[in-house]
Amino acid sequence: MINIAILGFGVVGSGVAEVLKQNADSITQKLSGEKINIKYILDKRTFPDHELGDRVTTDFEKIVSDPEIVMIVETMGGSHPAYDFSKQAICAGKNVVTSNKEVVANYGTELLELAKSHSVNYLFEASVGGGIPIIRPMWECLAANKIQSVTGILNGTTNFILTKMIEEGMDFDEALSLAQCLGYAEANPAADVEGMDTCRKICILASLAFGTAIDPKNVHCEGITKISSEDVAAAETLGYSIKLLGKAEKRAEGTYIITAPHLVGYDNPMSGVRDVYNAITVCGNAVGDVMFYGRGAGKLPTASAVVSDIIDIARVCKEPMTWTFSDEDTCMDHKNAPVRFFVRTNDPNAKDYFAGCVFCDCEDGTYAFITDEDTEFKLSEKLNNISVLSAIRVL
């Protein structure tokens, strides 16, 4: 049994408990049969209706002095007391996993050194990019490279707000309230919209990429509050989207690092990153550009990153990457999976067989439509009734 404590049972902390419960079997399997047990939850509030309500305490000393606790999961947000508790936990020989970008950006250097000197881990995958794996891939999978630049849409809330304003004509306050309801925004959303959150995240990435700590206080930081709908419309006319970016680049003169809205050309995949999604492009001198994409905020995506760090620490003896041989046929018949087809036909009966689908006329006198979703088996049977020129699956 691996006993852990969660500090802060808000959106992310409760998400961690949910993921650990929901995926308990597969996680236990990855830990060669060991179970992860949430022994304590530190929070000022009580959760009488939650199944872990009896684990809630306000006494950090009890947690940090418990020899059974091997890992502290800090999901409190804000610098204090999160930093102080993390430091105390490391000094007491506990591993620490955090989603707290403010603490990592402001105190990461100190806490990482402290963790090293106490032979414990301080892991922070969830501090950047929500559910996107970026910290460990940069550290491990891109280790062969000298990183030349990192550019990212790093704040889910602002990208969500910009998307809602541009695509749905929502006003700023309404879009922000929605982001708050969905658990994307910071406790003080000024950190999102004024750019500080992006700034902290690009500093964490740049510190990791270039090997020296970059203090957010020294980085130019603009948010999205001055962007007008006229700016957006004019940029669109020219073929650009407006995105809040964190950007860090190694140059001969030193590290160029900035947080600010940028025009991103439609030919750059970042221009199509919508809603709460984040995207990060890392350029290495051997690999070239590598892009990471996924949900940048939210309960379960962020918890996914936290729990992966928990598992990483819990794998005391790391299992080698492997798979096993099975005599059983584990693949399903692809014809039983639900699909949609793009169909091109010149059969006049198609409109009867596929009534309800939208048909469009093609230049060559044929016409095309997209089927409703059904198993490929059933759709193929139905398509056998008409003459089909092409049928292509829709992603």
Distance of closest approach, residue 228 Cβ to ligand HSE, in angstroms: 22
Residue 290 CB, shortest distance to ligand HSE, in Å, is 21
Instruction: Select from 82-90, 181-189, 310-318, 369-377 the region that touches ligand HSE (CB under 6 A).
Output: 181-189
SS3 117: helix
Token pair listed for 128? 């950047």
For residue 142, the surrounding DSSP H or E stretch is: none
Q: Which of 15, 77, 156, 261 binds ligand HSE (CB under 6 A)?
A: 156
Catalytic residue among 87, 164, 201, 250: 201
- Calpha distance 104→159 (Å, rounded): 22
DSSP state of 35: P
| Structure tokens given for 322 | 């492997």
| Minimum CB distance to ligand HSE smaller for 157 or for 281 | 157
**Nearer of residues 88 and 281 to ligand HSE, judged by Cβ:** 281
By CB under 6 A, name the one of 43, 74, 125, 192 that touches ligand HSE. 192
Encoded one letter per residue, x for contact with ligand HSE by CB under 6 A and - for no contact, window 269-308 reads: ---------------------------xx-----------
Task: Name which of 156 and 284 has its Cβ closer to ligand HSE.
Answer: 156
Figure out which of the listed residues 157, 163, 207, 259 binds ligand HSE, where binding follows CB under 6 A: 157
* Of the residues 184, 240, 277, 341, which one makes contact with ligand HSE according to CB under 6 A: 184
Size of the site for ligand HSE (CB under 6 A): 11
CB closer to ligand HSE out of 192 and 194: 192
The site string for ligand HSE over 120-139 (x = CB under 6 A, - otherwise) reads ----------x---------
Which residue is at the shortest CB distance from ligand HSE?
157
169 CB-side CA count, 13 A:
0
Do 157 and 277 form a contact (C-beta atoms < 8 A)? no
Sign of torsion, CA 77 81 83 89? negative
Question: Would you count residue 186 as binding ligand HSE (CB under 6 A)?
Answer: yes
Complex with ligand HSE: residue 36 or 204, whichever CB lies closer? 204
Q: Within 10 A of 124 (CB to CB), how many other CB atoms are there?
A: 26
Least distance in angstroms from the C-beta of 348 to ligand HSE = 52
Helix 156-168 × helix 172-181 angle, to 10°: 130
Given the rule CB under 6 A, which of 115-123, 134-142, 152-160, 343-351 is the region that contacts ligand HSE?
152-160
Question: Which one of residues 96, 134, 185, 339 is an interface residue with ligand HSE (CB under 6 A)?
Answer: 185
Q: Which one of 19-27, 60-68, 182-190, 281-289 is the stretch in contact with ligand HSE (CB under 6 A)?
A: 182-190
Distance CA 369, CA 327 (A): 41
Residue 383 is given by DSSP the state H
CB nearer to ligand HSE: give 39 or 200.
200
Q: Quick check: 195 binds ligand HSE (CB under 6 A)?
A: no
Does residue 261 have a cis bond before it (omega within 30 degrees)?
no
Place of tokens 């419960």: 21
Find the shortest distance in angstroms from Cβ 279 to ligand HSE.
12
Best CA proximity match to 199, nearest among 215, 183, 180 = 215
Taking contact as CB under 6 A, which single stretch among the options 51-59, 184-192, 223-231, 384-392 is the one that binds ligand HSE? 184-192
Tell me the HSE value of 135 on the side-chain side, using a 13 A CA sphere: 25
- The verdict on whether 201 is a catalytic residue reads yes
If the CB atoms of residues 245 and 339 are measured against ligand HSE, the closer one turns out to be: 245
**Candidates 54-62, 65-73, 153-161, 378-386 — which segment interacts with ligand HSE by CB under 6 A?**
153-161
What are the residues binding ligand HSE (CB under 6 A)?
Answer: 130, 155-157, 184-186, 192, 197, 296-297
Would you please indicate which residues are annotated as catalytic (active-site) residues? 201
